Each structure stands twice: as C-alpha cells, then as structure tokens.
A and B are shown apart, each in its own frame.
Chain A
C-alpha cells in the first residue's frame, strides 16, 4: 500500500528528530542558566547527540548535518568558523564507522567510546582555536568541561534513546 501524503509528512517530521534534537541540545548548552561559573564549563550536549545518532541512526543524521551543526555552533560561540564543524564531522565520521562495534556491545562500551572520542575532539578544538585565533582557556576549565561532558552522556543518551523508541520505531 502506498503511504498517503499525511503519512509521508508524519514520517518526514519523525525523521527530523535526530537533527532537531542535536540542534536543540546545542542551543540548550548556550542558554543562560544563571549558575555561577557554569557557562565556561557547560558540557557539550551537541557532541553527545551527534555521537548517539551517528551510532544508532546515521541514515537520519548525515555527516553534512553534523558539519552544518558545527558551523552553527562556531557562529554562536564566537569561535573561528570551521573549528567545531571539523570537530563534529570527525566525531560523526569515527562514530558511524565504528557503529557495528558499538551496537554489538553494552552501553558501557559506547560510553567509553564516547569518552575517548570526546577527549580527542576536545584536544582538536583546543588546538585549532589556538592555532587559528590564538585563543586558549585555563586547563582546569577545559578538564572540568570534559569530565562533565563524559558524566552527562548516560542521561542524555537515555533521553535520546527514549525519543528514538517513541518516534522512530517504524522505518
């Protein structure tokens, strides 16, 4: 049976969930939260979404979407354009190429994978920000931001998994 226009629209909107959740988490990272000192060490929620969808639904969060999300992130953050774009592209590329490994293993393995990748991506962003724009940040700030990013991955991944089950079950 051929799907009607409404069904197709419904599927289209559902298929936008990965991109929308990535952008939403990215904006949430920079929303003012009024917690003293939090702005400098906000965990990278957008990275988590890119990693999660690259592993579970790379057909819906394409690498070019990760690239555009990175451009958006750079523009909003005031970082040199292209830095986060490259970082998210690499994060997406590595995660989606290793997805069979992550899918076949337990959650802890995926978490560990995210921690490893996030470390690499953090170093890449720090290096590029310095080389391109001479920007650097206190080392303990960066370390704390990394730790928070890794620690917050499980709840964010759980939320994304719930949304995947609820909205993307039928392909």
Chain B
C-alpha cells in the first residue's frame, strides 16, 4: 500500500515537471519570436548558423531530385525530338539575323562610346552555386544556395539564372546563403519596361507573378512588353532581363519572370561592385518603403 502511494506521488511529480517543461518551451517559442523582432541581426546570425550546418545534408538530398528530373527531361526530349528540332532550326534562322543586327549595333556602340568618351561599366564578378533547398512553403519564396561569405557572396547581390534575374541575396552564412525570389512578399526591385521605358517597382506578393507598382500615371504598359532592371537605387546595374508583362488587370500589370522557380538548379550570384549601395538599398527595402 505504502509502495503504491510513493509511485502515485512520483507520477504526479513527473506530470508536474512535464507540464512545467511544456510551459517553459511555449514561453521560449514566444521569446524567439520577440527576439527576432527586437534583435534582427542576432536572429539572422542564428538562422545562418543553422542553415550552414544543414546545407551539406541538403546538398546530398538535392541530388536525387535532380537526377530524376534530368531523366524525365531526357524522356520528354526524346518524345519531342522532331518538333524540337524544327523549332530550333526556325529559331536558329531568326537568331542568325539577330546576330548580324547585334554585330552592327556593337560596332556602332563602340564607335559612339569612343566619340563621347563614355566610361564603361566595371566588370562583374560571378559565383556559381547549387540550389540546395526550395524553402518556405506558401509564406516565403526563397531558395538556399550552397555558397556563402567564404565564396564572396554578400547581402544584396543579384542572383541570376542564365541571363535572367532570379532575386537577391537576403541572408549570408559562411557556406550557404538565402536568395529572396522576385515573387516573395518582401521583394521590391526597381525595373523599367523596355521600349516605353516606364520606371516601376516590381513587387512580389507570394503569387507566381509579381506586380508592377509605382508606375508613372502616363505610362503605357501592354502584355508582351519586356521588363528589365532599371538600375535605380544602385543595387543592380540596369538592363538585367527580369520578365514579360502578361496581364494588365485592375491590381496593376503582372509580370511573368523569365526564371522559373522549379527549374532552378544552379544560379549565378553576381557582384557588380555596388556593395555599399546594395546594402543601403537592402535596408530601405526591408523597411518596406522601396527605394
């Protein structure tokens, strides 16, 4: 009888400890949330440290998906070989024409530059990195890449897939970095439409197609127009291809980015030597004001 009484008491004590631990952890979770607001730098460092630690595992995990996707791609390509070939032949004809035009323009440009003594842009430095995680689910549109401060990646640098803009570096660890995609809620990129040259801010809203906001009142934006970076704010150089205007609805014109989120496997992080400006643009961007 005495023995069972002790067991009951021990059980009650265990339950009490359990409850206390649970409450303590709930408080800790809220503490973390408040810490993230109060000391963003510390929270970011903590996040980067965790990301750094997990990146090697993610790097391994991302390979099988890539192999499967490659095989699927190859099968699909085999099936569409004939049609693809025709399309490429046609495209080649068109590109050869463009090549001639580009050569002529290049010559002309060189001549004009010489005549006006124009200062040419500084050469960019590139880091190529593997996309190891496609994170965030519905709330955050970002990817993790396997290059960080050790490779020269800095906050605010432009991230490209091929020639097209993917997003910008938002957080940097030692061997990993988080890239905020154009489609993310917090992404604001100064852009301009090609042709009409209307400056705007490309604002992500967690949907697949970001919107053009802060357009001038007299701007004419039509579906099919190309959108490139404007170079305003100094974070990115002008002229990086971003996407195409798809629809002009009442929520503002929407832009389909050239870079597809699901197709990203390698990205190029470009350092245009605009570091100081990039950081200041970054901080105003984070305050949600836009440049």
Bound pair: A and B?
A: yes
CB within 8 Å of B: which residues of A?
A: 27-42, 44, 63-64, 67, 70-72, 74-83, 85-86, 89-90, 93, 125-126, 128-129, 132-138, 141-142, 145
B265: chain A residues at CB < 8 Å are 32, 34
B225 CB-CB contact with A under 8 Å = no
Query: With a CB–CB cut-off of 8 A, which chain B residues contact A136?
Result: 139, 185, 206
Q: Are B33 and A40 in contact (CB under 8 A)?
A: no
Q: List 28 A-B contacts (CB under 8 A).
A: A27-B54, A27-B133, A30-B133, A30-B136, A30-B144, A31-B62, A32-B262, A34-B68, A34-B69, A34-B263, A39-B134, A39-B137, A40-B137, A40-B138, A71-B50, A75-B46, A76-B50, A76-B133, A81-B47, A82-B35, A86-B30, A86-B33, A90-B26, A93-B22, A135-B206, A136-B139, A138-B206, A142-B138
Residues of chain B contacted by A39 (CB below 8 angstroms):
134, 136-137, 261-262
| Chain A residues, Cβ within 8 Å of B264 | 32
Binding site for A on B (CB under 8 A): 21-22, 25-26, 28-33, 35-37, 43, 46-47, 50-51, 54, 57-58, 61-62, 65-66, 68-69, 131-144, 170-171, 178, 185, 206-208, 260-265
Q: Max chain B CB contacts within 10 Å: which of A32, A85, A90?
A: A32
Tell me if A27 and B65 are in contact (CB < 8 A): no
| CA–CA, A113 and B72, complex, Å | 37
Q: B79: shortest Cβ distance to chain A, in Å? A: 18
Please give the distance in Å from B242's CB to the nearest CB on chain A.
Answer: 19
Q: Knowing A39-B261, A93-B22 touch, does A85 contact B51 (C-beta < 8 A)?
A: no
Asked whether, in the complex, the Cβ of B36 is within 8 Å of the Cβ of A135, the reply is no
Query: Are A75 and B36 in contact, with the CB atoms below 8 A?
Result: no
Report the Cα distance A72→B54, complex, angstroms: 9
Which A residues are CB-close (under 8 A) to B25? 63-64, 67, 85, 89
State which of A35, A64, A67, A129 has its C-beta within 8 Å of the C-beta of B139.
Answer: A129
Which listed residue, A28, A80, A137, touches B61 by the CB 8 Å rule? A28
A37, B208: Cα distance in complex, Å: 8
The distance in angstroms between the C-alpha atoms of A72 and B263, with both chains bound, is 25
Closest residue on chain B to residue A70 by CB atoms: B29
Inter-chain CA distance A77–B58, complex, in Å, is 13
A93 CA / B21 CA spacing, docked (Å):
11
The residue from A70, A76, A137 contacting B144, defined by CB atoms under 8 A apart:
A76
A31 to B54, CA, bound (A): 12
Report yes or no: A137 in contact with B50, Cβ–Cβ below 8 A: no
Asked if B262 and A38 make an inter-chain contact with CB atoms under 8 angstroms apart, the answer reads: yes
Chain B residue nearest to A36 in the complex (CB) = B262
Does B178 lie within 8 Å of A78, measured CB to CB? Answer: yes
A135 and B140 contact, CB distance less than 8 A = yes
A31 touches B65 (CB 8 A): yes
> Nearest chain-A residue to B262 (Cβ)?
A36
Listed residue (B29, B66, B135, B143) with the most chain A CB atoms within 10 angstroms of its CB: B29
Q: Which of A27, A64, A75, A132 has the most CB of B within 10 A?
A: A75
How long is the Cα–Cα vector from A38 to B61 in the complex, in angstroms? 17
Q: B260–A78 contact, CB under 8 A?
A: no
A32 lies within 8 A of B50 (CB): no
Q: Which of B66, B135, B142, B178 has the most CB of A within 10 A?
A: B135
- What is the CA–CA distance of A137 and B138 in the complex, to the nearest angstrom? 6
Query: Roughly how many angstroms separate A10 CA and B170 CA in the complex, as a whole number?
Result: 43
Per the bound structure, the CA–CA distance linking A39 and B207 in Å amounts to: 12
CB-based contact A31/B32 at 8 Å:
no
List 7 other contacts, CB 8 Å, given A71-B50, A135-B140.
A27-B58, A29-B137, A30-B58, A34-B262, A39-B136, A90-B26, A145-B137
Contacts of B30 in A (CB 8 A): 82, 86
